[in-house]
Chain A
């Protein structure tokens, strides 16, 4: 019968011990443990959320990057094309200019040469004329140095004149 009858002494000790145990555990064990567990769970939830958010952000960023890259590539192609065109144009222009310049130079050189040539020719002509005169003078002077010779010449000249 006393198996199912509560014992006063044991009840008192149980009351004291259990109350003390509950107080000490609640204050010094459950509180820090549950706090740590809750904090960690919160951290994990936050981290997962952040990861999800970051992933979405990354995706958006990647899409944006792709867009930018595509635009940049197009722009680069455009710029390259333009640059090539500009370069070609410049080269063409430079070529034309150079040709013109060269032609001009050649033309002016030719004119120069011609004028120089003409001047030289004139000078030579003058020179030749004076030389010829001088020679002729000298020859004449020589041929007509004596009376004999003057006579001989006059004879010769007279002989050459055919009386036809």
Chain B
């Protein structure tokens, strides 16, 4: 009975929390009549220069993150100079209008269109003020972009997640440093089985037992980085909710790290199998070289796509299910959409762990293959 009460209060918290990020489309729907689910979802899963908290997209509560541009020297200013800048509509072909935000104040000379920053060309002066323009060729602006090193929503989430991992792991390390090799307590008690799992079931199980020690720190870091950031992504409100591990840049980087570790760990046996596959006729050996070389890349490529697709898909499903209410414009649909979204969210908690585990597991498998000694 008490457990049921606990569960229902958890559910309430969850629905309440969800209401934060559904508030925006809700307000938008009432304003603009037709609520575009696809746009809302894409807006959420992509990166942004602000961290939207509540309220309508324009004029709601947001944290304006710093913009850092490299364009003849570094320029640093708040993104509110874009979001609170001039809204300019450009008529395109087939009666579509493109809306972009022209920067004001320190952001003058730049424009923000679909979270991408463009340089504006000066096209003349009007009443003594310079007039700028963003030229569209089809859907995309023609203008050049400055190097954008902004602390975007994903960068902020990345920094927060990394700091969280550091704090957690340092606390665990402090416990061992203080108490020595004793039975763990508290946080260490919770995390030790997971750390040991990564060491034993991921590293030791896949990599030669004399060589696996070297790779345990990398595998641990990659596992906890993915797992904790996946979990943060499931929290609907700040500092969670960013689609960090569902961002192709992050997964690309992580997969690239595994590629580097694999390539630099590769021993004679590994490269021998790639460039001169033993046990097959010479023409086949030559034929196998490009296939094996592509194989080096397809393995981390699969890692990259798997994590990206799984996490992004999870975010999309939860948002789509919640959107049922706003498509039908009837609160009664919450009776269907909230339990379904809850179910998927719980499933996503499992996926969050599983994807971290899989990424580390497959990385260990690739490294294991690269350091394996010949045994024929």
Contact = CB atoms under 8 A, between A and B. Distances in A.
Contact of A14 (B147, B170, B253): B253
A22 interface: yes
27 contacts: A2-B114, A3-B42, A7-B148, A7-B152, A9-B155, A10-B47, A10-B154, A10-B158, A11-B253, A13-B151, A14-B250, A17-B158, A18-B253, A22-B217, A22-B218, A22-B221, A25-B217, A25-B224, A26-B217, A29-B170, A30-B217, A32-B177, A33-B195, A36-B181, A37-B176, A40-B182, A40-B183
A40 B147 contact: no
B286 interface: no
A2 B196 CA distance: 39
B173 A39 contact: no
A6 B301 CA distance: 13
Interface string B166-188: 10011011001100111100001
Interface string A16-60: 011011101110111111111101100100000000000000000
A10 B165 CA distance: 19
Instruction: Specify which of A15, A17, A30 lies most central, judged by the most chain B CB atoms within 10 Å of its CB.
Output: A30
A4 interface: yes
Interface in B17-56: 42, 45-47
Contact of A10 (B152, B224, B225, B257): B152
B338 interface: no
A25 B220 contact: yes
Nearest to A30: B217
Given A6-B248, A10-B250, A34-B199, A21 B42 contact: no
B216 A34 contact: yes
A157 interface: no
Contact of B173 (A2, A21, A32): A32
Contacts of A35: 176
B252 A11 contact: yes
Given A7-B249, A22-B221, A39-B181, A30 B216 contact: yes
Contacts of B68: 9
A161 interface: no
Given A13-B155, A37-B196, A3 B166 contact: no
Contacts of A26: 217-218, 221
B76 interface: no
A21 B257 CA distance: 13
A163 interface: no
Pairs A-B, 9 closest by C-beta atoms: A36-B176, A29-B169, A26-B217, A40-B181, A39-B181, A6-B249, A10-B249, A30-B217, A29-B173
Given A9-B147, A10-B154, A21 B221 contact: yes
Interface residues of B, number: 52
Contacts of B71: none
A36 B178 CA distance: 11
Nearest to A44: B181
Contacts of A3: 42, 45-46, 248, 312
Contacts of B154: 10
Contacts of B182: 40
A11 B256 CA distance: 11
Nearest to B155: A13
B152 A9 contact: yes
Query: Which of A6, A8, A13: most chain B Cβ within 10 A?
Result: A13
Contacts of A39: 180-181
Contacts of A36: 176-177, 180-181
A35 B255 CA distance: 28
A15 B253 contact: yes
Contacts of B47: 7, 10
Contacts of B166: 21, 24-25, 29
B260 to A, nearest CB: 11
A26 B214 CA distance: 10
Contacts of B45: 3
B247 A37 contact: no
